[in-house]
Amino acid sequence: MKILFVCTGNTCRSSMAEALMKRLAAQSSESIEVRSAGIAAVEGEPASGHARTVMKELGLNLDDHRASGITREAVEWADLILTMTTGQRDAVVRRFPDAAPKTHVLKEYASTDVGGSDIQDPFLQPVEVYRKVAGEISEALSKVVEKIKGFGKG
């Protein structure tokens, strides 16, 4: 299973989702490859300082992360594209209509729409907002791993 996480700038939410899912994949018996991208990413931008801080608190490292924009190659690579908001899902589908069947909002795909289906953009917010967002992403990813168990087997 190849998962592409998408947000706006690929410096906060999708980069955290990528790091968190890589850890879950390593702890799982599932074969999961992960990438992330942004709809309006500035190529090469580092992960935001607060995203790096929160991931360090969780034992993960985003120091080497560099933002990348969503590309046709990444869309074709992915078995599943998970966005942080409905608007981002719609933007991906507008740009890559053939990707519609495999493009979903993370919390909707995970069936965890507590507090709405969108994950708030923490950009320029206090570190506490990043912690909350990381918690929402982590909760959803645990459910995603359960949902995709056995994908591609048999």
Which region holds residue 85: left if phi is over 0, alpha if psi is between -120 and 50, else beta? beta
Active site residue 121: yes
User: Where would I find the beta strands (DSSP E) of 23-151?
Assistant: 33-38, 80-83, 103-105
Active site residue 7: yes
**Which of 23, 66, 121, 131 is the catalytic position?**
121
Which of these, 35, 33, 27, lies nearest to 2 by C-alpha position?
Answer: 33
Residue pair 49/12 in contact (Cβ under 8 Å)? The answer is no
**Which of 13, 35, 52, 89 is the catalytic position?**
13
Instruction: List residues with catalytic annotation.
Output: 7, 13, 121
